[in-house]
Amino acid sequence: MSTWEFLYNGFLVALQPENLIYAFIGVLIGTAVGVLPGIGPMSGVALLIPVTSTLTAGAPPEEAAASAIILLAGVYYGAMYGGSTTSILLNTPGESSSVVTALDGYQMAKQGRAGAALSIAAVGSFFAGVVALIALVFLAQPLSELALKFGPAEYFSLMILGLCAVSGLAGRSMTKALIMTVFGLLLATIGIDNVSGVARFTYDIPELYQGLEFLTIAVGLFALGEVFKSILEREQNEGAIARIDRIYPTKKDLQESAGPIVRGSLLGFFIGVLPGAGATLASFFSYIMEKKISRQPEKFGKGAIEGVAAPESANNGASGGAMIPLLTLGIPGSGTTAILMGALIMYNVQPGPLLFDEHPQVAWGLIASMFIGNLMLLILNMPLVKVFAKIIQTPPKYLIPIIIAISFFGVYAVQVHTFDLFLLIACGVCGYFLAKNDFPLAPLVLGLVLGPMIENNLRRALTASNGDWSIFVTHPISLLFLVIAILWLLVPILLKLRGKKVVVNEEG
């Protein structure tokens, strides 16, 4: 059978009434999961696995597996979209990949353009989902073989490139961005070392043995930081509420977003294929790329619609890309796909090279359902844009308690520990003072996310080479990433020095 015939059979599975209902329930729950910080796609999928086994009880094994994975996958990519809503409206990232969306999305909301930001996020997510699925249908096998060639040295160099690239998220100073990146890496070392079992920077505080929870830091810096700003600088802004002029994007917004949506979708998909890279890195990379190629990079961070379109497209593209190593190799590329893999195995469906031969109904039914689910997301969320956009018009005296409640509930739900709440408040105070002094917060967050990955891949690479550091330059792909990373830092410095010499010569 050809790919088209397999896909046609997949649609026959996905369009069965019960599977349409499961897909709808999945994307609906996923959107809610993404909106609430703290739950996230990983927790949402894990919590629903027992529910799916109850819902599909009594169905033939193959049909039960297809229905269950359709619902769980719906939660996954639904959460990827939902995370943008609170990022744009309240500066509260629903999950890690939505941190970048908050940089420009929240500024747009404050300018009365919340409707346009939410609409573009919905359109970008839908387009990225469709692009990722088309690519998944035709490129699954070759891309899986390419991803297998990435060893720990290549991943380490890719992460280093990611860290160097965050200089593109700097405010007015690259130095401040690098300071924040290093600070994020230092925070990532807190906890018990996985290899040696030694406690690092825990100061005999039991709550620090597991390390710092990413979401606590991100929500504290962004959401509570904004709350402290609203309270402490009340005299200057007097709680002015931005008026929302229109709900849907203008023709100009669509023209400015078209390129970023296409580029973000493709970049997100290819990064999603790499196990471990994930949607967070994809959204950061796409934002940095758009800022680099923009003719007006200074507008980023001040309400540029490209700064919403690109990362939102990238994180949905990455969720589609992450399905490739899961389905074709049996290698989960992220925590959420690891849980999806566990769910498949629970239904006696083994992901890997034989999945498409042994269980075509499950594999192709899932792919087809993702087309339908993305369409459902668009139809479901576009009418709600008007409702969501009104949230930003809530007076600050009501909005601030809502943000605090969502933040505290989300953070407490992750580990159910009061220590996280105190850490949240501390991060909120730090976030306020850092932002006030033009220290960019995004590099710290990315350093915290990439820190453990960098350390693990560094150790694995050095273990494989018996401690020989040349492994990072003898592997061509690794060397290429390192050269790009060095150039990323050096070129702006050299251009700045050259500009100063020109000025000096002209004055002389």
DSSP 313-357: HHHHHHHHHTHHIIIIIS--SSHHHHHHHHHHHHTT---STTHHH
**C-alpha to C-alpha distance for 31 and 106, rounded to whole angstroms:** 19
The neighbouring-strand residues paired with 192 are 199
Instruction: Quote the number of domains for the chain.
Output: 1
The answer to whether residues 128 and 313 touch, using CB atoms and an 8 Å cutoff, is yes
Question: What's residue 238's pLDDT?
Answer: 44
Q: Return the exposure string of 417-450: e unless at least 16 CB atoms fall within 10 Å of the residue's CB, then b.
A: eeebeebbeebbebbbebbeeebbbbbbbbbbbb
pLDDT at position 239, please? 43
Q: What are the pLDDT digits (tens) for 92-136?
A: 776 777 888 888 988 888 888 888 888 898 889 889 988 888 888
For residue 36, the SS3 value is: coil
Confidence of residue 294 (pLDDT cuts 50, 70, 90): confident
Structure-model confidence comparison of residues 444 and 479, the more confident one: 479
Query: pLDDT tens digits, residue range 348-387?
Result: 888 876 787 788 888 889 888 988 988 998 888 777 777 7
pLDDT given at position 172:
65
How many residues does this entry show for the chain?
Answer: 508
User: Which are the contacts of 191, defined by CB distance < 8 A and separation ≥ 6?
Assistant: 199, 200, 201, 202, 208, 209, 210, 211, 212
Q: What is the mean pLDDT of residues 424-436?
A: 92
pLDDT score for 147: 67
CA dist 471 → 148, 156, 159, 460, 476 (Å) = 17, 11, 16, 11, 10
**Single-letter residue type at 60:** P
* Sequential DSSP letters for 69-83: HHHHHHHHHHHHHHH
**Residue 119 belongs to what domain range?**
3-236+257-497
Question: What is the CA angle 444-446-449, rounded to 5?
Answer: 110
Question: In this structure, is residue 343 part of a structural domain?
Answer: yes
Question: Has residue 197 been placed in a domain?
Answer: yes
Quote the tokens at residue 353. Answer: 């090279």
Q: 20-34, 235-249, 418-432, 447-461: lowest mean pLDDT where?
A: 235-249
- Between strands 191-192 and 199-200, the pairing is antiparallel
Angle at 386 between CA 285 and CA 38, to 5 degrees: 50
Q: Give me Rg for the CA atoms of the chain.
A: 23
| Stretch 180-196: mean pLDDT | 89
**The pLDDT of residue 183:** 92
Q: What backbone phi and psi angles, to 5 degrees, belong to 173?
A: -135, 125
Q: Which amino acid is at 219?
A: V
Distances (CA, A) of 104 to 7, 114, 117, 302, 308: 38, 11, 9, 6, 6
In a domain? residue 504: no
Tell me: pLDDT of 82 over 50: yes
Average pLDDT over residues 201-224: 86
Give the pLDDT score at 463: 92
Please check whether residue 246 lies inside any domain of the structure: no
In a domain, 508, yes or no: no
Q: Which of 7-11, 51-55, 188-192, 411-415 ranks highest by mean pLDDT?
A: 188-192
Mean pLDDT of 313-317: 89
Does residue 506 form part of some domain? Answer: no
Please check the confidence at residue 276 and state whether its pLDDT lies above 70: no
DSSP state of 192: E
Question: Is a pLDDT exceeding 70 seen at residue 320?
Answer: yes
pTM for this prediction: 0.74
Answer for the pair 76, 31: CB distance below 8 angstroms, yes or no.
no
Assigned domain for 232 exists: yes
